Amino acid sequence: MSRRSRGLGIFVVSAVCAALVTTTAQARDLRIGIRADPDILDPAQGGSVAGRLIFASLCDKLIDTTPEGAFRPQLATAWDWSEDNRSLTLKLRPEVKFHDGTALDAAAVKTNLDRYRSDPISRRQTELKSIASVEVVDPLTVRIDLAQPDAPLVAALADRAGMIMSPKALADAGEDIGLNPVCAGPFKFVERVSQDFIKLEKFDEYWNSDEIFLDGVTFLPIPDDSIRLLSLRSGDLDMIERVAPTDIKAVEDDAGLTLVRGPSVAYDLISINVANGDKAQNPLGQDARVRRAFELSIDRNVLNQVVYNGLFVPSNQHEVPGSQYYDATHPVPERDVEAAKSLLAEAGIPNPSFTLNVANSSTSQQIGEIVQAMAAEAGFDVKLEALESSTMASRADAGDYQASLVIWSGRPDPDANVAPWASCDGFLNWGKYCDPALDAILKQAREITDPTMRSDLYQQAVAIYTTANPHIIMYHYTSLFGLRNEVTGFVAFPDSLIRLQGVKNSE
């Protein structure tokens, strides 16, 4: 063999070995297709559903939830209420490190909780407004003292308000921490290209590293449901969230794919601008009769069958029908076009017009088109505008909208399902609806731990907001995930988050 041939042979062998090494490394990565690009990756400032998906891999919380919806330890190993329910003491997990190598301790928890409840940029202020002070008892013990009892606080600490970031990183980055978030989760931030991808890599010093079998994870926002599925089937993706119900059969019939279903506390609603700037000055925003007529023009059962293959649960309340806090005395209203027309005639506005914003996904646009056609039969002129999800949310938050079809991912405590949307200072109350009577009921419910007593109060709340209709709840979800068969160990939780503990990719 000539020297040139031997050199070529060595090159080919080296290339093959390099390819095998690359393939092995990539096999332990996971590419996940998500429906929308997240907003800022800062638990204090973030408010998008897509952002919560990323946080599940990036930022551990003080408390987590189980697949059954109960609470379980995460960064906190235990928590106890005082006898008067005015103090919550948390014991922290020892030897936990942030992605920058600094230690997570009681002082770090205090820094984060104080930021969430007092920083002007924080969206968590409403969730933590009951806190009077946060005290460091010892390096691994934090006591939260309350101005009044707050039963939903544990649930808040099982979400963004319980995500703990590095105080050093917060001090260095300030409000820009979302550009390079530093938390204590299983994966650390590497890179983000807006509307393209978010790349994370395994954090080797993660406290629960024995449960992490992936070297990295990349989230790719793909709003179009059909393209997301095609990318999964082609192998460009390993997993997708929110499989369109119309695509279930395609996933089940594909020998290379697995469909994972799970119950969900998430729901879709139409948020209506009733008092947030000039865009509220229209019949839908100003007259509850017009909003009631709009609701009566919609057939939730038809929407569920046509768009979701009957898999979702038509609903008109923040809690799932049949659950403990659902009020059966206010059932989902049947479609009644004639009653809708009568209400519009009574209001003196037979043909109200408004713009409904929808996400730029094929499913959301299909829902918008069906709602548009249904409402037209009652006399409504509904115009549709498709927007990227984070753009739609930011515009709504600024009052630059008349109505928007949006998703709420849901929480294990009823207060966190209704208060963000309906309380006067709710961080998702984009339309600025405000009823002091409703706020008083919600406040009373927070101060009670007895489920039966709380249920009675939430039924009073239902009577108020289903009459005012500042938003129209449409249906509760069923979680639907598509995975390539090589991906194993994934479990669907009611909050629809993608937890990667125990997940493997053998491709």
* Cα–Cα nearest to 242, from 354, 336, 364: 364
**What pLDDT does 335 receive?**
98
Which fold does the domain 265-477 belong to in CATH? Dipeptide-binding Protein; domain 3 (3.10.105)
CA-to-CA dists, residue 435 to 197, 318, 325, 342, angstroms: 41, 17, 21, 26
What's the confidence (pLDDT) of residue 344? 98
User: Once rounded to an integer, what is the mean pLDDT over residues 275-299?
Assistant: 98
- Is 0.85 topped by the overall pTM? no
> Would you state the pLDDT for residue 29?
95
What is the domain partition of the chain in residue ranges? 60-174, 265-477
At residue 263, the 3 state secondary structure works out as strand
Which pLDDT tens digit goes with each residue over 85-117? 999 999 999 999 999 999 999 999 999 999 999
Q: What is the pLDDT of residues 350-388, one digit of tens each?
A: 999 999 999 998 889 999 999 999 999 999 999 999 999
Q: What is the pLDDT of residue 16?
A: 35
Share of the chain above pLDDT 70, in %: 94
User: What's the pLDDT at 248?
Assistant: 92
The answer to whether 368 and 405 are in contact (CB under 8 A) is: yes
Residues 14-59: tens digit of each pLDDT: 433 343 334 333 448 999 999 999 999 999 999 898 999 999 999 9
Residue 321 tokens read as 């029908």
Residues listed for the chain: 507
How many angstroms separate the CA atoms of 472 and 291, rounded?
9
Of 9-23, 24-38, 332-346, 447-461, which range is least confident? 9-23
- CA 155 – CA 296 distance, rounded (Å): 34
Tell me phi and psi for residue 394, to 5 degrees.
Answer: -70, -35
What is the reported pLDDT for 263? 85
CATH annotation of 60-174 = 3.90.76.10
Give the dihedral sign, CA 184/37/356/479.
negative
Rounded to whole angstroms, how far apart are CA atoms 228 and 389?
A: 16
The whole-number pLDDT of residue 12 equals: 37
Q: Which residue has the higher pLDDT, 394 or 16?
A: 394
